[in-house]
């Protein structure tokens, strides 16, 4: 199973570390997060081969994270761990989309075995996600986006960004050298249920340029496309 990547979403740092050690010791690559909700902007851009999820996690609206994962990653194997030994609890997790369910604190080696068993059922040529990232990182020039902890860096310094700024920057970095209208960008980063206007994109672009461009008045990363909108130009670290 070498080369397979497992995403571990577990709020208990001790148990998360145990799972991580067991998986890495068995040849898996591991992404990890102590929060589930923070993943859902970038989750659609990741392609883990399997997910281990703390079954007690819910979002701010009380919706179980496992249900949200299934909305975004339909066919990725999902193992849920739970502290509740009640049979109904296991049934509910399976009905919410889990492929398997384990009681915790569990036996990490057994968890690895269950992951291997599930992955053997998945054809090697199954469709990958939109983008496959080996580390949860995506870069352009001296910009680095960490999709798992939702942080952005320029020249290795962390950038202070709002959620909308981060979402827009991430979208552009993931779609380098492609032109988008303001409407495209608005739809990509701001929920249609929120109050929106095309001018918001211009404001966000201006703020992002102030944070990532060597000279915001002569941008090298985010280019204005005449009569169109904006584009993130692909650069090497030397071209910045």
Task: Please tell me the predicted confidence (pLDDT) of residue 240.
Answer: 56
Longest dimension (CA), the chain: 62
Q: What is the CA radius of gyration of the chain?
A: 20
Q: What is the pTM of this model?
A: 0.61
Q: Which has the higher per-residue pLDDT, 121 or 191?
A: 121
- Average pLDDT estimate for 162-174: 89
Task: Please tell me the predicted confidence (pLDDT) of residue 67.
Answer: 80
- Fold for 5-120, please state it: Rossmann fold (3.40.50)
DSSP secondary structure letters along 18-55: HHHHHHHHTT-EEEEES-SGGGTTTGGG---SEEEEET
Q: What digits encode the pLDDT tens for the residues 41-60?
A: 656 566 788 999 988 777 66
In CATH, which of 3.40.50.800, 2.60.260.20, 1.10.10.10, 3.30.43.10 is domain 137-239?
Answer: 1.10.10.10
Q: Which has the higher per-residue pLDDT, 118 or 132?
A: 118
The two beta strands, 100-103 and 29-33, are unpaired
**Mean pLDDT, the chain, whole residue set:** 83
Q: What digits encode the pLDDT tens for the residues 13-26?
A: 898 899 999 999 99
- Average pLDDT estimate for 103-108: 81
| Ranges of each domain in the chain | 5-120, 137-239
Task: Please tell me the predicted confidence (pLDDT) of residue 128.
Answer: 40
Secondary structure (3-state) at 80: strand
CA geometry: angle 57, 93, 83, nearest 5 deg: 60
Euclidean distance between CA atoms 35 and 133, whole angstroms: 19
Least confident of 62-71, 208-217, 224-233: 62-71
- Average pLDDT estimate for 80-88: 87
What's the pLDDT band for 138 if we cut at 50, 70, 90? confident
Q: Could you tell me how many residues make up the chain?
A: 240
């Amino acid at each position: 199973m070498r080369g397979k990547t497992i995403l571990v979403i577990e709020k208990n740092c001790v148990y998360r570390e145990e799972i991580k050690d067991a998986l890495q010791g068995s040849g898996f690559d591991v992404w990890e997060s102590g929060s589930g909700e923070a993943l859902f902007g970038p989750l659609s851009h990741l392609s883990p081969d399997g997910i281990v999820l703390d079954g007690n996690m819910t979002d701010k609206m009380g919706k179980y994270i496992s249900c949200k994962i299934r909305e975004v990653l339909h066919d990725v194997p999902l193992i849920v761990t739970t502290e509740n030994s009640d049979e109904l609890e296991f049934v509910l997790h399976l009905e919410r989309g889990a492929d398997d369910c384990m009681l915790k604190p569990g036996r990490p080696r057994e968890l690895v075995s269950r992951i291997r068993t599930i992955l053997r059922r998945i054809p090697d040529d199954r469709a990958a996600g939109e983008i496959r990232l080996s580390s949860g990182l995506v870069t352009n020039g001296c910009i680095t986006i960490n999709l798992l902890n939702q942080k952005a860096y320029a020249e290795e310094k962390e950038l202070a960004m709002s959620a909308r700024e981060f979402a827009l920057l991430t979208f552009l970095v993931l779609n380098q050298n492609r032109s988008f209208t303001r409407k495209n960008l608005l739809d990509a980063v701001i929920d249609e249920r929120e109050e929106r206007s095309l001018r918001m994109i211009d404001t966000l672009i201006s703020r992002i340029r102030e944070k990532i461009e060597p000279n915001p008045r002569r941008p090298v990363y985010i280019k204005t496309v005449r009569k169109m909108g904006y584009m993130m130009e692909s650069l090497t670290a030397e071209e910045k």
